[in-house]
Amino acid sequence: MRIRSEAGVVVCGGGTAGAIAAIAAARTGARSLLIDQYGTVGGMASTGMSFLGVSDAGGRRALGGIGGELFARLVAVGAAFEDRPDGQVGSVTAADPFALQQVLLAMLVESGVDFLLHTFCVDALVDGGRVRGVLVANKGGLEIVPGRAFVDATGDGDIAARGGARFVMGRRADRLMQPVTRIFRVADVDVGAMLAFLRAHPEEMSLPERWQGGAAYGHEDLENPSVVMDAFPALVAEARASGELTVPRDRIGIETGPVPGVVTINATRVHGIDGTDPDALSRAEIETQRQMFELFRFLRRRVPGFARARLLGSSYQVGVRETRHILGEYVLTLDDVLSGRDFADTVGRGAYPVDLHDVGEGAEVLGDRVGGGGVTLRRIERAYGIPVRCLLPAGMDGLVVAGRAISATHEAGGSVRGQAVCMATGHAAGTLAGLASQRDGLPRQVPVEEVQALLERQGAILFHPERAPGSDTARAARTG
C-alpha cells in the first residue's frame, strides 16, 4: 500500500466548506492537500442555487473573508449579482455555477493548494485519540495520506465518525432526517412571461404558511435581477389532483440568476433517505431523476414561460441536507441561532435561514404537524456567532470539522447547512488546522485569539458592534 508524503493540512472534501478550508490552510503557510471524490471542486455550491444568508435580515453582512473574496471575483467578471436584501429569506446572492467552479479552482491554485481528486476518503487512522492519517481509495488502489492536522469537510462527518467521534444522526429523538433533493436547471425559459403570470396571479407567490418573519412577494420584488421563491401552489395542487404530478412537494422552488433564460428548480424530494447508506443513496439517485423529468413535463405543460424550455442539466449527485451532527465541545442550538447570539470564541457568523424541509408526512417540525410536502422557515434577523468549540469533536484531536456536520442540533442545523455558513466554517477550520500544523498539530492548543486575529485580517466577519442579549462578554462587543 502506498504511503504518501506528509501534508501539513489534509482537507477531506472539496465542496463548499472544504475548498474554502484548503485555501485558508494554505494561506497560513501550511502545505495544504485537498482530497475530493470528484474531478472538480465546489460541491453543492456548483448546482446553480442562489446563496442565501450572505447578509442577515437586518442588512448586516455575515460572510466576509475568503467566501466574500470569491463572490467579489464573480461579481467583477459579471458571473454573480451583488448580495441584495430579500423580504422572505433575508438576503440573496445569485451566481453562475460554472463560473463559480472556475474561479474557486483558480483561487485554490493561486494559494498553492495540492490536489488529490477522484479519490474517496475511506477511513481515519487514529493513534491515542489523535488523527494521524486517512485511508483513501482511487484508481491507484488504497493509499495512506498522513498529515499534521486534518479538516473533515465531507458533509457527513465521515472522518470524525470513522475515527470514533460521537455524533447524533438527524433528530436526536427519532433519527429522522430532512429529505434529499436533486437540483436541476432549465434553459430557454421566457422569464418575462413567467414573471408576468406571477404578477397576474399573486396567489401563486403567496407566503408559505410556515415561513415566519418575512412578507409575501409583491410586484416590486419581481423587478429584482434575481428571484428566489417557492411558487405555483395552485398549479401544483391541480397537477397532483389529476395524477400528473406525484412529487411530494406543495410548491416549486424557482431561482433566476445571471444567466439569461436559465431557471434553477428545487422541487424533487425523497423522504427516509440516510445519506450515509449507499443503498439508500442509490435509490434516491434513481427516484430524483424520475421526479426531475416529471417536474420538467409539468413546467412545460402548465407554467407560462416554460413551453419551449429544455433541460440544461442537474446536480452531479443528489443533495443531502442532513446526516450526522458531530458532537463537539459545544452544541449550537436553535435559540443561539434565532437570538443572534455571540460567543467569546466566535470564528464565523451565520445568517442562512432556519430551513427545515418536512422530515416526513405526519411528523412534527418546530411544534407544527406537517404534511410532508412543505418547508418550515425562520429568517435570521441578526447573524449568529459560531464558536470554535462547534468545530472540535469532543474527545478527538488533530481534526477540525467544517460544513453542515459541525456540532449543532437538528433545528440549528437547518441554518448551519447553508452554503454561506459552510464557507464561514470552512475558512475558520482551515485557518485553525493550518496554524496547528505548524506547531504540534493539535488544534485545541492554538489560542482562539490568534485564530480570530488572522481571520479578521483576512476580512472574516466575527463580531458586530452591538452585543446580542445573553451573549458571552469577553469579545462580543468588539466591532468585526
Which residues of the chain does CATH 3.50.50.60 include? 2-173+322-457
User: Is 113 in a helix, a strand, or coil?
Assistant: coil
Assign 211 a pLDDT band (cuts: 50, 70, 90): confident
Please provide the DSSP assignment of 165-216 as one string.
--EEESSTTT---PPBB--EEEES--HHHHHHHHHH-GGGGPPPTTEES---
CB 345 within 8 A of CB 447: no
User: What is the structure's pLDDT at 472?
Assistant: 67
Is the predicted pLDDT of residue 156 greater than 80, yes or no? yes
Mean pLDDT of 66-84: 96
List the one residue out of 183, 413, 126, 464 whose CA is nearest residue 317.
Answer: 183
Mean pLDDT of 89-96: 93
Instruction: Read off the pLDDT of residues 458-473 as tens digits, 9 standing for 90 and up.
Output: 999 999 877 665 666 5
Q: For residues 245 and 298, what is the distance between their CA atoms, to the nearest angstrom?
A: 7
Is the predicted pLDDT of residue 13 greater than 70, yes or no? yes
CB 290 within 8 A of CB 154: no
List the one residue out of 327, 348, 280, 344 whose CA is nearest residue 61.
Answer: 348
Assign 229 a pLDDT band (cuts: 50, 70, 90): very high
User: What is the structure's pLDDT at 56?
Assistant: 95
Is the predicted pLDDT of residue 373 greater than 50, yes or no? yes
CB 352 within 8 A of CB 49: no
Q: For residues 8 and 234, what is the distance between their CA atoms, to the nearest angstrom?
A: 55
Assign 477 a pLDDT band (cuts: 50, 70, 90): very low
Within 10 angstroms of residue 82's Cβ, the number of other Cβ atoms is: 11
User: What is the structure's pLDDT at 391?
Assistant: 99
Assign 49 a pLDDT band (cuts: 50, 70, 90): confident
Assign 45 a pLDDT band (cuts: 50, 70, 90): confident
Assign 478 a pLDDT band (cuts: 50, 70, 90): very low
- What is the end-to-end Cα distance of the chain in Å, rounded? 48
Is the predicted pLDDT of residue 29 greater than 60, yes or no? yes
Q: For residues 239 and 245, what is the distance between their CA atoms, to the nearest angstrom?
A: 5
Assign 50 a pLDDT band (cuts: 50, 70, 90): confident
Give, in words, the CATH class of 2-173+322-457.
alpha beta
From the number of C-beta atoms within 10 Å of its C-beta (0-12, 13-18, 19+), residue 114 rates as middle
Number of helices (H), then strands (E), belonging to the chain: the values are: 11, 25
Inter-helix orientation angle 97-110/16-27, to 10°: 20
User: What is the structure's pLDDT at 468?
Assistant: 61
Is the predicted pLDDT of residue 456 greater than 70, yes or no? yes
Q: For residues 19 and 105, what is the distance between their CA atoms, to the nearest angstrom?
A: 8
Q: Nearest-5° angle of CA 20, CA 22, CA 27?
A: 95
The Cα-based distances of 22 to 26, 255, 399 in angstroms read 6, 29, 14
Inter-helix orientation angle 16-27/65-76, to 10°: 110
User: What is the structure's pLDDT at 294?
Assistant: 98
From the number of C-beta atoms within 10 Å of its C-beta (0-12, 13-18, 19+), residue 459 rates as middle
Q: For residues 196 and 11, what is the distance between their CA atoms, to the nearest angstrom?
A: 46
Mean pLDDT of 144-167: 98
Give the strand order in the sheet containing 90-93. 51-52, 90-93, 84-86
Instruction: Read off the pLDDT of residues 425-454 as tens digits, 9 standing for 90 and up.
Output: 999 999 999 999 999 989 999 999 999 999
Q: For residues 435 and 433, what is the distance between their CA atoms, to the nearest angstrom?
A: 6
Assign 322 a pLDDT band (cuts: 50, 70, 90): very high
User: What is the structure's pLDDT at 441?
Assistant: 84
User: Is 380 in a helix, a strand, or coil?
Assistant: coil
The Cα-based distances of 195 to 52, 191, 280, 476 in angstroms read 21, 6, 37, 43
Percent of the chain scored above 70 by pLDDT?
Answer: 97
The DSSP output letter for 221 is G
Instruction: Read off the pLDDT of residues 247-257 as tens digits, 9 standing for 90 and up.
Output: 999 999 999 99
Cell 464557507 identifies what position?
A: 423
Q: How far is CA 199 from the centre of its chain?
A: 31
User: Is 48 in a helix, a strand, or coil?
Assistant: coil
Assign 144 a pLDDT band (cuts: 50, 70, 90): very high
Cell 443513496 identifies what position?
A: 281
Mean pLDDT of the chain, nearest integer: 94
